[in-house]
Amino acid sequence: MNKEPLVEVINLSRYYKDGNVLALDRVNLKVSGGEFLTIKGSSGSGKSTLLHIIGGLDLATSGEIYFQGQPAGNVYRQQGFRLNHLGFIFQAFYLWPALNVLENVLLPLMESSLSRQLKLQKAQSAVDLVGMSDKLNTPVNHLSIGQRQRVAIARALVMDPKLILADEPTGNLDSKNTENILTLFRDLKKHKNVTIVMVTHEEKALTFCDRWIQLSDGRIQ
């Protein structure tokens, strides 16, 4: 693990509904490079909001975020920043049902200028990493729920991001698949040195991560 913070959140607040609902209240957080951090909390605690703001999908009302020491406001505006540095995984997978496994993983690469051959190689490696190489040409709607989440993880990994943001990735999975996915995250962190920030209310996740924090009413406990 790299001691230098990859992401630093300083005094971050987020209000909703014309300032009447406080989702995040002066949150301070450092995420080191190569760290597997779990953000735990009940529904409405603000954990997904924090993840979305770190990922540049939502804006903070106040406070600052730094990515590799640079103000996030500047780096997130760069063309292709999210594509090249961040990987997203969601509870609902958001796979394209018209496409097979390989094609879904190729989606982020469609924005890249790499050669067709290289794109295919990268996509196949990502599929291989999540243990789905025997299902390359299978339509995603023929896969089990656990396999679909693996495809979503491969899609998040295919651009070799520095940071993976996972929002309740095991929320739709049974206990066996939950364990498999958490093991996969731990292995990815170990072997690829990927930084993972995962939001969950799954107690089991705490045993797989390096560190966890608890959010309650928008505050870190």
- Least distance to another protein, CB of residue 1, Å: 26
161-197 as b/e: b if 16+ CB within 10 A: bbbbbbbbbbebbeeebbbbbbebbbebbeeeebbbb
The one-character DSSP state at 14 is E
Q: Which stretch binds another protein (CB under 8 A): 6-14, 26-34, 90-98, 182-190?
A: 90-98
* Count of helix runs (H) and strand runs (E) in the chain: 7, 10
CA dihedral 168, 172, 176, 177 (to 10 degrees): -70
Using CB atoms within 10 Å of the CB of residue 21, give its burial: 0 to 12 exposed, 13 to 18 middle, 19+ buried: exposed
- Contacts with 49 (C-beta within 8 Å, 6 or more apart), sequence order: 14, 23, 24, 58, 218
179 Cβ neighbours under 8 A, 6+ residues apart: 204
Residue 69 touching another protein (CB under 8 A): no
Quick one: which of 28, 94, 142, 190 contacts another protein (CB under 8 A)? 94
Is 15 an interacting residue with respect to another protein (CB under 8 A)?
no
* Under rule CB under 8 A, residue 103 binds another protein: yes
Q: Which is nearer to another protein, 10 or 92 (CB)?
A: 92
Q: Looking at 15, 26, 33, 52, which residue binds another protein (CB under 8 A)?
A: 52
| Alpha carbon distance 128, 11 (integer Å) | 40
Q: How far is the CB of 159 from another protein (least distance, A)?
A: 8
Q: How far is the CB of 97 from another protein (least distance, A)?
A: 6
Task: Tokens for 104, please give them.
Answer: 């879904």
Nearer to another protein, 32 or 61 (CB): 61
Per rule CB under 8 A, is residue 55 in the interface with another protein? Answer: yes
Query: Which of positions 123-162 make contact with another protein (CB under 8 A)?
Result: 155-156
The helix (H) or strand (E) run that includes residue 29 is: strand 21-32
DSSP assignment, residue 64? E
Least gap, CB of 191 to another protein (angstroms): 23
Does residue 83 touch another protein according to CB under 8 A? Answer: yes
Closest distance to another protein from the beta carbon of 110 (Å): 7
Q: How far is the CB of 103 from another protein (least distance, A)?
A: 5
**What residues make contact with another protein under the rule CB under 8 A?**
52, 55, 57-58, 79-84, 86-88, 90, 92, 94-99, 103, 106-108, 110-111, 155-156
